[in-house]
Structure 1
Amino acid sequence: MVSYDAYESITVDVADGVATIEFHRPEVYNALSTEVYLDLSRALSEIQLNRDIDVVVLTGEGEDAFSSGADIEQYAGPAEEHDPREKDRQRMAFEEVYKRIYEIHPVTIAKINGYCVGGGLVLASFCDLRVAVDDAKFGVPTTDIGQIPGGGSTYRMVQLVGEPKTKEIVYTAGLIDAAEAHDIGLVNRVVPREDLDDEVDGIVDAIQDTGRGAVKASKQAINHSANAPDLETAHEHESEIWWEQFATEERRRLVDEFNEG
C-alpha cells in the first residue's frame, strides 16, 4: 500500500489500483471544512495523473458519519461580515471538487458508513456509485439554516431522484433512511454494517475483472449522455468514444480471450 503525501484532514492510500480517501474529522461527524475541500482537490489532482488507479473509494472515519456536511461555523453572522470574494473563492473550490469527483477517470464509490447529509450528500451524489449501511441517514437540511443547497446539487439531485423528491427532501429539511434512499435511486446498494467492506470490495473486484480501459471510456460516455441536450448529441459523442476504445489493445486482447474460451 502506498500513502500519498500527508494531508491535514484526509488520508489517501493506494493499493492494487484502488485509492481510498478517508475524511478524518470524526469529532464533528466528518464535517467538510474548507481545509477538507482543499485536501480533496489536491488528492484528486494527484489521482487523476495516475492511470493505474481504477477505483476511488471515499468514506468517513468511524461509524457515525460519512459526512455531516458543511462546517456551519463558517456561515455564521450577517452577510456584511463575510468577504464576498472569499465566499466566492470558497464556493468555486467546493464546486471544483464535485466536478473532479464526477469527471475523474477512475470509478468513484461513496462508501457511506453513517450520516450523509448536506454537503456530504452533495459530495456522495457526484460519485458514480453509492453503497450505504442500513442505518445510514440522508438529507439536505440547508433550509434549517436559512440557506439553499449549493455546489450544483439542485441539478444533480434532480438527475438522481427527480424533481418532486428533490423538492420534498430540500423543502422539509428532514432525513430519510437508507431503505428509502435505495427505493428512490439515491443509493445503489444497502447492506448491514458488518457487510459494508465486503460489499464495496466485491464491486471493486467486479470492476477490475472487466476491461479497465473500457470502464473508464464507459464512464465518459455515460456522463456525457446524462448531460447531453438531446439523443443525437449523446450518440455522436458515444460513437467517438466507441471507436477510440475499439482501437485499443485491450479490446483486441479481450475479444481474442472470449473467442478462445
Structure 2
Amino acid sequence: MVSYSAYESITVDVDDGIATIEFHRPEVYNALNNEVMLDLKRAFDEIQLNRDIDAVVITGEGEDAFSAGADISQYAGTAEDHDPLQKDRQELFYEMYQKPYDCHAPVIAKINGYCVGGGLIFAMYCDLRIAVNDAKFGVPTANIGQIPTGGSTWRAVELVGEAKAKELVYTAGMIDADEAERIGLVNHAVPREELDETVDGIVDGIQDTGREAVKNSKRAINGAVHADSLETAREQEAEIWWEQFATDERRELVDEFNEGQ
C-alpha cells in the first residue's frame, strides 16, 4: 500500500489500483472546512496523474458521519466581513466538488453515517453512492439563511428530479437511506455490517472488466449528461468508442472472449 503526501485532514492510500480517501475530522462529523477542501483538491490532482488507479473510494472516519457538510463557523458575520473571501471560497468548493466527477476513474462515496449539506453535495458529484441503511441525508441550507452552492442545484435536479430536489431544499428536512435509494440519490442502502462487502464487490466488478473501457465509459456518460443534444452526445460517444476500439485492452479481451466460445 502506498500512502500519498501527508495531509492535514484526510488520508490517501493506494493499494492494488484502488485509492482510498478518508476524512479525519470525526470530532466535528467530518465537516468540510477550507483545509479539507484544499486537501481533497490536491489529492484528486495527484490521483489524476496515476492512470493505474482503477477506482477511488471515499469515506469518513468513525461510524457517525460521512460528512456533516460545511463548517458553519466560517460563515458567521456580515457579507462585508467576507467579501471577497466567500466568493473565493465558493469557487474553491465548486472546483473541489467537480474533482470526483472529472476524475479518470470511477469514484465511490462510501457513506457510513450523516451525509448532509456540503457533504451530500460532494457525494452527489461522485459516480456511485453506497450507504448504510441508518444514514441520514439532507440539504439544510435554508435553516441558516443560505442556498445550495457549488453547482449542486443542477446536480440535484439531475439525480433526483426537479420536484424532489425542491422538496429537499425548501424544507431543509432529512431523509433516511431507504428513501434516498428510492429516489435515486444513492445506489444501494445496506446494513452497516454489509457496507464493506458491498463496496468491495463493486470495486472488484470494476477491476474484473476492461479497466480502460470503464474509464472511457465514464467519459462518454458524463459527456452525454452535458451534451446539448442527442446528436452531440452521439458524436462524442463515437469518438470515445473509436479511442477504446484502438486499445490493446479491447483487442486482447475480444480475443479472449472468442477463444472461450
The reply to whether residue 260 of structure 1 matches residue 259 of structure 2 is yes
The secondary structure found in structure 2 opposite 1:176 is: strand
The secondary structure found in structure 1 opposite 2:80 is: helix
TM-score, length-scaled by structure 2: 0.99
The secondary structure found in structure 2 opposite 1:59 is: strand
Correspondence for 1:98: 97
After superposition, residues 231-250 of structure 1 pair within 5 angstroms as 231-250=230-249
Deviations 1:34-64 (A, max 9, x none): 1000000100000000000010101000000
Correspondence for 1:13: 13
Q: Which runs of 4+ in 1 moved over 2 A?
A: none
The secondary structure found in structure 2 opposite 1:11 is: strand
Letter in 1 for 2:237: E
Task: State how far apart, in whole Å, the 1-side matches of 2:139 and 2:175 are.
Answer: 10
Task: State how far apart, in whole Å, the 2-side matches of 1:210 and 1:55 are.
Answer: 12
Letter in 2 for 1:25: R
Letter in 1 for 2:10: I
Correspondence for 1:151: 150
Letter in 1 for 2:44: L
For structure 2, list consecutive stretches of 5 or more residues without a partner in the other structure.
Answer: none
Correspondence for 1:136: 135
The secondary structure found in structure 1 opposite 2:84 is: helix
The reply to whether residue 198 of structure 1 matches residue 193 of structure 2 is no
Task: State how far apart, in whole Å, the 1-side matches of 2:23 and 2:39 are.
Answer: 10
Instruction: Using the TM superposition, give the Cα deviation of residue 154 of structure 1 relative to its aligned residue in structure 2, in angstroms.
Output: 0.2
Task: State how far apart, in whole Å, the 1-side matches of 2:146 and 2:88 are.
Answer: 18
Task: State how far apart, in whole Å, the 1-side matches of 2:204 and 2:16 are.
Answer: 10
The secondary structure found in structure 2 opposite 1:259 is: helix
Task: State how far apart, in whole Å, the 1-side matches of 2:86 and 2:35 are.
Answer: 14
The secondary structure found in structure 2 opposite 1:57 is: strand
Correspondence for 1:162: 161
Task: State how far apart, in whole Å, the 1-side matches of 2:163 and 2:99 are.
Answer: 27
Percent identity of paired positions between Structure 1 and Structure 2 = 72
The secondary structure found in structure 2 opposite 1:242 is: helix
Task: State how far apart, in whole Å, the 2-side matches of 1:43 and 1:219 are.
Answer: 20
Task: State how far apart, in whole Å, the 2-side matches of 1:144 and 1:190 are.
Answer: 27
Correspondence for 1:27: 27
Instruction: Using the TM superposition, give the Cα deviation of residue 85 of structure 1 relative to its aligned residue in structure 2, in angstroms.
Output: 2.2
Instruction: Using the TM superposition, give the Cα deviation of residue 80 of structure 1 relative to its aligned residue in structure 2, in angstroms.
Output: 1.6
Task: State how far apart, in whole Å, the 2-side matches of 1:209 and 1:173 are.
Answer: 41
Instruction: Using the TM superposition, give the Cα deviation of residue 92 of structure 1 relative to its aligned residue in structure 2, in angstroms.
Output: 1.1
Instruction: Using the TM superposition, give the Cα deviation of residue 176 of structure 1 relative to its aligned residue in structure 2, in angstroms.
Output: 0.2
Task: State how far apart, in whole Å, the 1-side matches of 2:124 and 2:117 are.
Answer: 11
RMSD: 0.5
The secondary structure found in structure 1 opposite 2:241 is: helix
Instruction: Using the TM superposition, give the Cα deviation of residue 137 of structure 1 relative to its aligned residue in structure 2, in angstroms.
Output: 0.3
Task: State how far apart, in whole Å, the 2-side matches of 1:80 and 1:11 are.
Answer: 35
Deviations 1:190-227 (A, max 9, x none): 11001101110000000000000000000000001011
Deviations 1:4-51 (A, max 9, x none): 011000000100100000000000000000100000010000000000
TM-score, length-scaled by structure 1: 0.99
Deviations 1:132-184 (A, max 9, x none): 00000000000000000000000000000000000000000000000000000
The secondary structure found in structure 1 opposite 2:130 is: strand
The reply to whether residue 57 of structure 1 matches residue 29 of structure 2 is no
Instruction: Using the TM superposition, give the Cα deviation of residue 100 of structure 1 relative to its aligned residue in structure 2, in angstroms.
Output: 1.3
Comparing 153-162 with 89-98, greater Cα deviation is found at 89-98
Task: State how far apart, in whole Å, the 1-side matches of 2:90 and 2:171 are.
Answer: 24
Task: State how far apart, in whole Å, the 1-side matches of 2:93 and 2:142 are.
Answer: 19
Task: State how far apart, in whole Å, the 1-side matches of 2:91 and 2:81 are.
Answer: 19
**Equivalent pairs, count:** 260
Correspondence for 2:88: 89
The secondary structure found in structure 2 opposite 1:77 is: coil
After superposition, residues 38-53 of structure 1 pair within 5 angstroms as 38-53=38-53
Letter in 1 for 2:194: D
